[in-house]
Amino acid sequence: MASYELLCLENPLLDIQAQGDDALLQKYGLKPNDAILAEEKHLGIYADLLSRNAQLLPGGAAQNTARGAQYLLPPSSVMFIGCVGKDESAEKLAAGNRAAGLEYCYRYDEQAATGRCGVVITGHNRSMCTDLAAANCYKLEHLKENWSLLEKSKALSVGGCHLTVSVDSIMA
């Protein structure tokens, strides 16, 4: 029976990170070191970043915490839970987690795409534009179905961003 040193719950995102410039920031109404939730007018930023040879990295605060902890703790001793879409972006997240040795238990949403965060690097600044998408679709039922993962965990970490997604899951 596997046990976990740490279990993290929150919003899994695919970070799309590339070098940008002031023109790109202005195009999407971003400021240096900005962090915003995407609106319809921002959705083109992801394609623009991909055209700039973007790096695709697993992201989201709690998933980053889980991956960082996994580098320090024994193999396969950290678990991450969150919601993704049934798409190529979710496969990229899973591959990144496997490469880090991170265990994960995603809820796969049938309609929403995997959440993404456009990260524009300008000099020493980074501006982030996040489309939560499927990350907003986490359901308490998924947590209940996988409750044994929590029971096998020594410590739990729930990211604050999850408060806008599933308070019931946090309170469980």
Per-residue model confidence as pLDDT tens digits over 10-57: 999 999 999 999 999 999 999 999 999 999 999 999 999 999 999 999
> Mean per-residue pLDDT for 60-86?
96
* Residue whose structure tokens are 């809820």: 107
pLDDT of residue 56: 97
Instruction: Give CA–CA dist 61/93, Å, rounded.
Output: 14
b vs e for 144-167, b when ≥16 Cβ sit within 10 Å of the residue's Cβ? eeeeebbeebeeebbbebbeebbe
User: What distances in angstroms separate CA 123 from CA 38, 50, 96, 133, one per listed residue?
Assistant: 22, 19, 26, 29
Q: Which two tokens stand for residue 24?
A: 């790109």
Answer yes or no: pTM beyond 0.85: yes
* Residue whose structure tokens are 């534009």: 129
Angle at which helices 61-72 and 88-100 pack, to 10 degrees? 30
- CATH number attached to the domain at 6-171: 3.40.1190.20
Q: Is a pLDDT exceeding 80 seen at residue 92?
A: yes
End-to-end CA separation in angstroms for the chain: 23
pLDDT of residue 160: 67
Instruction: Give CA–CA dist 91/153, Å, rounded.
Output: 25
Percent of the chain residues past pLDDT 90, beyond the cut: 90
Dihedral in degrees, nearest 10, Cα atoms 99, 146, 69, 97? 20
